[in-house]
Amino acid sequence: MNILYIFPHPDDESFGPAGVIDAQVKQGHQVHLLTLTKGGATQQRHKLGLSVEEMGDLRYQEMLKVKASLGLSQMKVLDYPDSGLTELDPRRLEKEIESYINELKPKLVITYPVHGGSGYHDHLVTYAVVKRVFLDMQEAGADYLKRLAFFTMPDSGEPTFLPSGWPRLKLSDASLIDAVIPLQSENIQAMKDALLCYESYQAIVETTGVIEKIGDRVHFEIFDEDFSPSLKSLTEGLN
């Protein structure tokens, strides 16, 4: 089955869903990644003394390592402005995403949920444009599109990845969680290996405690479908 993950930045695929990606690849699925920016505007560039362009090039090279580490079938990295997606005409992004979906014809598309996992504006824009493209393409007859899922974390009442002092972000209510994917030890190791590919981001990996927060299961919302009990695989029920 063709599966497409769409995220705004390098490392979004590794900060959480990488364990599920690893499981899907091992199950024989063709897993693809579309990233909208090179992530060059990150504050980490100042610590490395790099320009936005130089940081973007570095992160792209790190993404090539992730592609190999996770065994992705295909990866496409666009160069829209990092931290600037809100300033774009969303139709530009929609056309780009539609073109890639038309090329791959995935049954399953995964992106961020409405809160973006962090509240970051680029994440919110990505949610909106991917959802719009998915529904427009379905309506126009792209019947190969079967399911739209959102990588998320259940709301625990505790801070997520945000620095102390920021307003606490409300994540997904338990009632919205449609899939809880258990991770095997090899999947967790694959997530760790993917994160290690981002050598320029190891301080962020440690600060966020992402590996401990994800634990041994990954949560997803699924658009316009309601599952109780929750699915244990995003491909469950898809032909």
pLDDT tens for residues 22-75? 999 999 999 999 999 999 998 889 988 999 999 999 999 999 999 999 999 999
In a domain, 231, yes or no: no
Q: Is the pLDDT of residue 188 over 80?
A: yes
Residue 186 within a domain: yes
pLDDT recorded at residue 25: 98
**Does residue 229 belong to any structural domain of this protein?**
no
Does residue 13 lie in a domain region? yes
Res 165 pLDDT > 70: no
Residue 233 within a domain: no
pLDDT at 162: 55
Q: Please state, in angstroms and rounded to a whole number, the distance separating the CA atoms of residues 38 and 53.
A: 9
pLDDT of the residue at 206: 86
Domain at 39, CATH number: 3.40.50.10320
The β-bridge partners of 111 are 150
Identify whether 114 is part of a domain. Answer: yes
- For residue range 197-231, list pLDDT tens digits in order: 999 989 888 888 888 888 999 999 999 999 999 99
3-state secondary structure 196-231: HCCHHHHHHHHHHCHHHHHCCEEEEEECCCCCCCCE
Instruction: Assess if residue 232 is contained within a domain.
Output: no
Domain residue limits at 165: 2-222
Mean pLDDT computed over 80-94: 97
Q: Could you identify the residue written with the tokens 């990150």? A: 42
In a domain? residue 28: yes
Q: Are 14 and 107 in contact (CB under 8 A)?
A: no
pTM, full prediction: 0.94
> How many domains does one find in the chain?
1
Half-sphere exposure at residue 87, Cβ-oriented, CA atoms within 13 angstroms: 5
Q: How many CA atoms lie within 13 A of 85 on its CB side?
A: 26
Phi-psi region of 170 (alpha: psi -120 to 50; beta: other; left: phi over 0): beta
